[in-house]
Structure 1
């Protein structure tokens, strides 16, 4: 299988590249700002460049973890959010369809309102933020232009990654410096280990599946509990963590509070095992040592 990974230097993209190569597949990777090993530059906002890279790569699958994930930034820049989370991926999906290639679009629990989670694939989306709306529109558009589109919803992705930007990295840096850190205790979601996400997605591609599927950790817990668990696994003092209500954080974009993703479908159909937060954090610690 030949795969094009758009956004190969980010945490999901790098994990995808590693898994694809471990499975013996040929990979072409791109980056937007931060280069990765053997990646080529690509601006997802440049339709001609996207079409050219897809054509030159001759992929069987195009995987697109690239996008704008800064939720509060999206709230203030809706046009940019729509461009990078919907329109750009749709150009890539359409270009993939021209050569009968599949397309993987990475979406989020933010397509739901967070009132009655965790959510299954067939629950009705109701995004409350610009980010969530841009992701939902992206889901719909890539499926409209590519009959082999695979929409993978995930959330709170963590694990070893080249840029060291995910929540666990931020937490470890601040705790080790002894800096107080306010962490919401009323946001429930499904922390997802990036290597498991990558392995599941590669398995889905190898089986030529399409549609919508949730790939996330199997346990739902609040962000504060996850932060305390990370401190326990990394043997750090959680005393600097301050349990906080989301409303007190002054964030621009609404957050889905009672969220999380049901992964019954993924667990039933995949050989890949999705690890819970303790096991995932332990794997991350081993990888970083």
Structure 2
């Protein structure tokens, strides 16, 4: 049985991935730092501690590593650069090196923020030029994987959304505020490729089984602004779209620069995978159905 080490297993994407891997009868070691999950073999791992990373790796001796864990709060990354580097870059290098030593396949999940955001629908081989420290730390992670892992796949994704007990996806944030009658400011000039987490997980399982290497974009099939996405959510739920207030990035007063258009071209995934990237109309419908059937909401 294939042994898989998954970092970030308690996160929005990680929980879904671990569940799906267990369902497929893989031997899954679900690494977490603070929140233990009840799927696979729960394994404590602090990515800021080199010795712990190496010890966990040698104890498990995995055939495959899926490195999902990252410091992702863009503002905190800008202000906490040392910790961001430890988690997003140095830990990635250690895991990539250990994978190479044991001939384990290494999957690194990266981000649309490695691009400059001046033009959208970026392809896998387009030039990366991140504009904030989060994006730089993830690009440095990509480069360490290319340098040190013997067999690898780099996956870039964009704006994941799904159900999680503590982490609120963008659609949930919109839904809860509008249901409470609260006005919310939503960006009209930031475009992404929103990715339904169960769809991402299915695509990930397929690339594992097909042993695809190199770099691939696994994201939603629709380029859309935050505002248009919020409006679509409101209309689907028959909520008041007048509560959505248009805003622009320059008004936000953020420390970290945000890319205006970090949408991803997913034509490669669409061509080679049976599980295709979903258009936003379909993924949102599935997500809202999931919410309706969930006890968490």
TM-score (norm 2): 0.93
Q: Is the 2:71–2:84 Cα contact (8 Å) retained in structure 1?
A: yes
1:3 alignment counterpart: 4
2:45 alignment counterpart: 42
- The CA deviation at 1:58 is 2.6
Task: Return 63-72 or 201-210, whichever deviates more.
Answer: 201-210
- The CA deviation at 1:8 is 0.6
Name segments (4+ residues, structure 1) moved above 6 Å: none
- The CA deviation at 1:198 is 1.1
Q: Does 1:105 align with 2:108?
A: yes
Q: Is the 1:14–1:162 Cα contact (8 Å) retained in structure 2?
A: no
Q: Secondary structure at the match of 1:268?
A: helix
What whole-Å deviation, never above 9, does each CA across 1:107-146 have from its counterpart, x for those lacking one? 1111111112110011100111001100100000012110
- Partners of 1:19 and 1:185 in 2: CA distance: 35
1:90 alignment counterpart: 93
2:224 to 221, 224, 247: 221
Q: Does 1:207 align with 2:210?
A: yes
Q: Is the 2:5–2:65 Cα contact (8 Å) retained in structure 1?
A: yes
- The CA deviation at 1:283 is 1.1
- The CA deviation at 1:257 is 0.6
| Runs of 5+ consecutive residues of structure 2 not aligned to the other structure | 293-297
Q: Is the 1:111–1:136 Cα contact (8 Å) retained in structure 2?
A: yes
Q: Is the 1:3–1:25 Cα contact (8 Å) retained in structure 2?
A: yes
- The CA deviation at 1:154 is 0.5
1:192 to 190, 195, 215: 195
- Partners of 2:66 and 2:134 in 1: CA distance: 20
For this pair of structures, how many residues does the alignment match?
289
- Partners of 1:263 and 1:7 in 2: CA distance: 24
- The CA deviation at 1:232 is 2.2
- Partners of 1:233 and 1:93 in 2: CA distance: 43
2:151 to 126, 148, 151: 148
RMSD: 1.3
Q: Is the 1:219–1:276 Cα contact (8 Å) retained in structure 2?
A: yes
- The CA deviation at 1:22 is 2.3
Task: Return 263-272 or 174-183, whichever deviates more.
Answer: 174-183
| Runs of 5+ consecutive residues of structure 1 not aligned to the other structure | none
- Partners of 1:47 and 1:97 in 2: CA distance: 16
Q: Is the 1:32–1:42 Cα contact (8 Å) retained in structure 2?
A: yes
Q: Is the 1:10–1:162 Cα contact (8 Å) retained in structure 2?
A: no
2:54 alignment counterpart: 51
TM-score (norm 1): 0.96
- The CA deviation at 1:102 is 1.0
- The CA deviation at 1:172 is 2.0
1:232 alignment counterpart: 235
Q: Is the 1:32–1:43 Cα contact (8 Å) retained in structure 2?
A: yes
Matches within 5 A, 1:241-256: 241-256=244-259
